[in-house]
Amino acid sequence: MNTLHARDLACSPCEKAHAVELVRLWHSRLPNCQNGPWQFAFKAHKDGVTYAVALWNNPSARCLPSHWLELRRMACSPDAPRFTASMFLGWMARFFKLNYRDREKMISYQDLQVHKGTIYKAAGWAVEYISKPRIRDRSKPRAGTTRSYRSDMNGVVPAGAGKARWSKYL
């Protein structure tokens, strides 16, 4: 039996529902994933088997430019070949650079409690901001409105963890 390598995988856009389904199965920290509003969904695959998926949208932070792209979720199967994640990031960067010239930058947030950022570093991304851990009180309505906060669908521990924002210019 031949060993599967990351370089053997094909990468392509995929149905958003397919990516959401596999994020729910494979994501290490944030498996509870909404069905939308994803602008882009991708998969890394071979012979009909998907080994990694990614979901992209405009940045969730309202203070960031809307023409940037934020990798909101990426997940790899437990049997994905070594280096799949960084190879997949590189492929998606080339895809956006070639097909979406109006997009200036890609960003993603690393959970500092459970990840080291190795995949971003290997794919040529750079850390541009590190936040401190925080506790959010979302038990009351937002100030100045009757609207409630969005729920922490994956729990308060991941939501309160410190984050590193990684970026790569296209």
pLDDT computed for residue 158 by the predictor: 54
Confidence of residue 113 (pLDDT cuts 50, 70, 90): confident
What is this structure's pTM? 0.84
**Chain-centroid distance, C-alpha 137:** 25
Amino acid found at 37 = P
Counting residues of the chain whose pLDDT is more than 90, the rounded percentage is 67
Torsion angles phi and psi, residue 97, rounded to 5: -60, -40
What does each C-alpha distance from 30 to 50, 57, 75, 79, 160 come to in angstroms? 19, 16, 10, 19, 13
pLDDT at site 156 = 45
Is residue 41 classed exposed, middle or buried when 0-12, 13-18 and 19+ CB atoms within 10 A define those classes? buried
| H or E segment to which residue 70 belongs | strand 69-76
Q: In a 3-state reduction of DSSP, which class is residue 64?
A: coil
Q: What is the rounded distance in angstroms from the CA atom of residue 131 to the CA atom of residue 116?
A: 15
Q: Are strands 105-111 and 69-76 parallel, antiparallel or unpaired?
A: parallel
